[in-house]
Amino acid sequence: MHFIIKRLWQWIKSLPGKPGGRKIWFPSSAGDYFVRMRGAQHYKREVGPPPPVLIWAFYSGFTSFIAIAVLGIIQRYGAAIKDHHLPFAIAPTGASAVLIFGVPSSPLAQPRNVIIGHMISALIGTFMHELFKHASNSFLWMPGALAVGISIGLMGLTNCYHPPAGATAFIAGYSLPDIQSVGWWFPLYPVLPIVIIMVCIGIILNNFSHVYPVYWFTPVHLSHPIANIPSAPTRSTEAKSTEIEDEEEKPHSEISPSTPNTSSSSSSSEYDNVQEKVIEQTTNDGDAERAWMQVRISELEKELNTLRQKYEKKTHYSGQ
Give, in order, the Cα–Cα distances in Å from 94 to each of 7, 164, 308. 33, 8, 49
* DSSP secondary structure, 192-209, as one string: HHHHHHHHHHHHHHHTTT
For the chain, 320 residues long, give each residue's pLDDT as a single digit of tens: 677 677 666 655 554 444 444 445 566 677 778 888 888 777 666 665 667 788 889 999 999 999 999 999 998 888 677 666 777 888 899 999 999 999 998 999 999 999 999 999 999 999 999 999 888 888 889 999 999 999 999 999 999 999 999 999 999 998 776 677 788 889 998 999 999 999 999 999 998 888 899 899 887 655 555 544 444 444 444 445 455 445 545 554 444 444 444 444 555 565 556 555 555 554 444 454 565 577 678 778 888 888 888 877 777 666 65
Cβ pair 89, 75 in contact under 8 A: yes
Residue 51 pLDDT: 72
Domain edges within the chain: 50-206, 235-319
24: region left, alpha or beta (phi > 0 left; psi from -120 to 50 alpha): beta
159: region left, alpha or beta (phi > 0 left; psi from -120 to 50 alpha): left
Distance (Å, whole) CA 274 – CA 150 = 46
- 281-292 burial, b if ≥16 CB within 10 A, otherwise e? bbbebbebbeeb
Distance (Å, whole) CA 176 – CA 156 = 26
Cβ pair 117, 157 in contact under 8 A: no
Residue 179 pLDDT: 72
Class of residue 94 by CB neighbours under 10 A (exposed 0-12, middle 13-18, buried 19+): middle
The single-letter DSSP state of residue 21 is: S
Distance (Å, whole) CA 303 – CA 308 = 9
Q: How many CB atoms lie within 10 A of CB 192?
A: 15
The single-letter DSSP state of residue 186 is: T
Residue 99 pLDDT: 96
Give, in order, the Cα–Cα distances in Å from 119 to each of 196, 228, 270. 11, 29, 50
Distance (Å, whole) CA 281 – CA 284 = 6
Residue 176 pLDDT: 74
Residue 45 pLDDT: 62
Contacts of 201 (CB under 8 A, 6+ apart): 63, 66, 67, 70
Residue 19 pLDDT: 43
Cα 90 to the center of its chain, rounded Å: 23
**pTM value surpassing 0.85:** no
27: region left, alpha or beta (phi > 0 left; psi from -120 to 50 alpha): beta
Residue 254 pLDDT: 45
